Structure 1
Amino acid sequence: MDCVAEANRGARAPRTTFGGAVRSGDTAVTKTVVVVCALMYLAQFVVDPRVYAYLVLTNQVSAYPWAFAAGNYWQPLTSAFLHAPTPIHVLFNMYALWLVGQYLEPLLGRARFTALYLLSALGGAAGATLLPMTAGVSTVGASGAVFGLFGALFVVNRHLGRQSGQVLALVAINFAIGVFVPGISWQAHLGGLVTGAAVAAVLARTRRSPRLVQAAGLGAVALVVVALLAYAAARFTL
């Protein structure tokens, strides 16, 4: 028995294709994000509107500083868990998150999927503030993060040699909707899409590397995204 226990301690724990811990069918992060977004959506109808507004990212292209410059460091992230009062906004985002999360999270593992989602959300905020957009427009919703999942889904399928045409068509259709339908931030969609694809590319290229190498790659993506957000803050303060 002691020999068996010793052998088990020395054995490497099974890992997913992209280096995460194997938890069969586990989608705890996806479920948690859906619940948080649902609760935050309902909260806006009962809390003081000023509290809700304090969490929303506003694209202040003017002398008044935006987010980081104003000291509201949380807004690029918290705005990704909030939604407009119209139910279709939160329902579409949560449905897309649920579908893609059920596929990606077991492949990546909890930690890597969490990093993908959060970095995509921040990348969406960077796109919404750096690309041309109407001054004073509020950016709210999980769309940037969801488009990051779309981008990652495409990269992951390509890496695994799986069919990617339907994913590409899905991204193209939804991105076109954001471009031609007023009130939708295609800028956030593009920022999230590019960031999600970059995160997935790092995970794919470093999947056989030590975890520290993979973490360093994700850290590099995070550094670029935060630098872009900081640049946006400095730019809008001028």
Structure 2
Amino acid sequence: MRETAKAMPGRKTIFGGAVRTGRPVVTLTMMAICAVAFALDWAIPGGFVFQNFAYAPFTTATEPWRMITSAFLHSTNITHIAFNMYALWILGNALEPAFGRARFLSIYLVSAFAGSVGVLLLSPVDTVVVGASGAVFGLFGALFVVQKKRGGDLRQIVVLLLINAALGFFIPNIAWQAHLGGLIAGSLCAVAVAYAPARNRNAVQWGAMAAIVLVLVGLTLYKVSTFPAFLIG
């Protein structure tokens, strides 16, 4: 019999999300979207998917949705998507049940957005990026916060973070700027969720994450304001 995710009425995770049994639905959905986008990029000629949904800083003012859509695309090198999906599967299985679907999805998407903001702030204007690694690094940061909150062993997470961060500096065509942006935002969101006081917990959690998004939007608007007029359109 297929195992399906079911809510358990009245029961909450330690971070306030609804307790659900079954598979991590949000994690699987994100993986499925990435897989479909990867297949479409191969199937549709002329690089249509890449040309319309990848992100580069110069597209920010006229096509801001690319700051999110690029996180669901990957290069045609199978190892790129394979590594990110493996990491997402591992991290999602650990974090989605702990945070609950809504909080987990929010942290993932905010981290993806922050990865693009990192590229916007720290990369040349014509740098083109795709990949879920900004969001994945956000989940790494979130896992560190969760382990810290629970009093768990942090050494393995720190080693993994350092190794993956180092790869961005030594292997060409890896956007360490996206990794940094995602890591910072994911960690901050997780702090808001994990350390919110029991009283008014939902308001504090969602308010703090909304504030993080507003800061990212503000940084985006500021950087765009410095662009030459021909890039703003």
State TM-score, norm by structure 1.
0.88
The answer as to whether partners of 2:142 and 2:190 remain within 8 angstroms in 1 is: yes
Return the match for 2:41 from 35, 41, 44: 44
The answer as to whether partners of 1:26 and 1:105 remain within 8 angstroms in 2 is: no
Structure 1 stretches of at least 4 aligned residues deviating more than 4 Å after TM superposition: none
Looking at structure 2, the residues matched to 55 and 190 of structure 1 have their Cα atoms a distance apart, in angstroms, of 21
Q: Which residue of 1 aligns with 2:159?
A: 169
Q: Measured at CA, do residues 205 and 37 of structure 1 come closer, stay the same or move farther in structure 2, by a change above 3 Å?
A: same
- Which piece of structure 1 moves more, 157-166 or 22-31? 22-31
Structure 2: tracts of 5 or more residues without a match: 1-8
Q: Which residue of 2 aligns with 1:34?
A: 31
- Which piece of structure 1 moves more, 179-188 or 43-52? 43-52
Return the match for 2:54 from 35, 56, 66: 56
1:180 aligned to 2:177? no
- Which piece of structure 1 moves more, 45-54 or 165-174? 45-54
Looking at structure 1, the residues matched to 205 and 49 of structure 2 have their Cα atoms a distance apart, in angstroms, of 38
1:87 aligned to 2:78? yes
RMSD (Å), alpha carbons: 1.5
Looking at structure 2, the residues matched to 78 and 227 of structure 1 have their Cα atoms a distance apart, in angstroms, of 20
Looking at structure 2, the residues matched to 209 and 130 of structure 1 have their Cα atoms a distance apart, in angstroms, of 37
1:205 aligned to 2:195? yes
Q: Which residue of 2 aligns with 1:232?
A: 223
Residue 13 of structure 1 aligns to a residue in which SS?
A: strand
The answer as to whether partners of 1:125 and 1:229 remain within 8 angstroms in 2 is: no
1:217 aligned to 2:201? no
Return the match for 1:99 from 90, 99, 103: 90
State TM-score, norm by structure 2.
0.90
Residue 141 of structure 1 aligns to a residue in which SS?
A: coil
How many matched pairs? 219
The answer as to whether partners of 1:18 and 1:207 remain within 8 angstroms in 2 is: no
Residue 56 of structure 2 aligns to a residue in which SS?
A: strand
1:17 aligned to 2:8? no
Looking at structure 1, the residues matched to 85 and 227 of structure 2 have their Cα atoms a distance apart, in angstroms, of 32
Residue 19 of structure 2 aligns to a residue in which SS?
A: coil
Looking at structure 2, the residues matched to 50 and 237 of structure 1 have their Cα atoms a distance apart, in angstroms, of 27
User: Could you give the per-residue CA deviations for residues 14-41 of structure 1, whole angstroms, max 9, x where no partner exists?
Assistant: 1101110001354100000001100100
Looking at structure 2, the residues matched to 186 and 156 of structure 1 have their Cα atoms a distance apart, in angstroms, of 23
The alpha carbon displacement at 1:45 in A equals 1.3
Q: Percent identity?
A: 43
Q: Which has the higher contact order (CA 8 A, sep 6+)?
A: 1
Q: Which residue of 2 aligns with 1:146?
A: 136
Q: Measured at CA, do residues 15 and 237 of structure 1 come closer, stay the same or move farther in structure 2, by a change above 3 Å?
A: farther
Looking at structure 2, the residues matched to 81 and 51 of structure 1 have their Cα atoms a distance apart, in angstroms, of 11
Which structure: larger Rg? 1
The alpha carbon displacement at 1:87 in A equals 0.4
Looking at structure 1, the residues matched to 44 and 224 of structure 2 have their Cα atoms a distance apart, in angstroms, of 28
Residue 236 of structure 1 aligns to a residue in which SS?
A: coil
Structure 1: tracts of 5 or more residues without a match: 1-11, 61-65
Return the match for 1:112 from 84, 103, 112: 103
User: Could you give the per-residue CA deviations for residues 67-124 of structure 1, whole angstroms, max 9, x where no partner exists?
Assistant: 1x22x12100000000001001000000000001000000000000000000000010
Q: Which residue of 1 aligns with 2:126?
A: 136
The answer as to whether partners of 2:192 and 2:204 remain within 8 angstroms in 1 is: no
Which AA in structure 2 matches 1:114? L
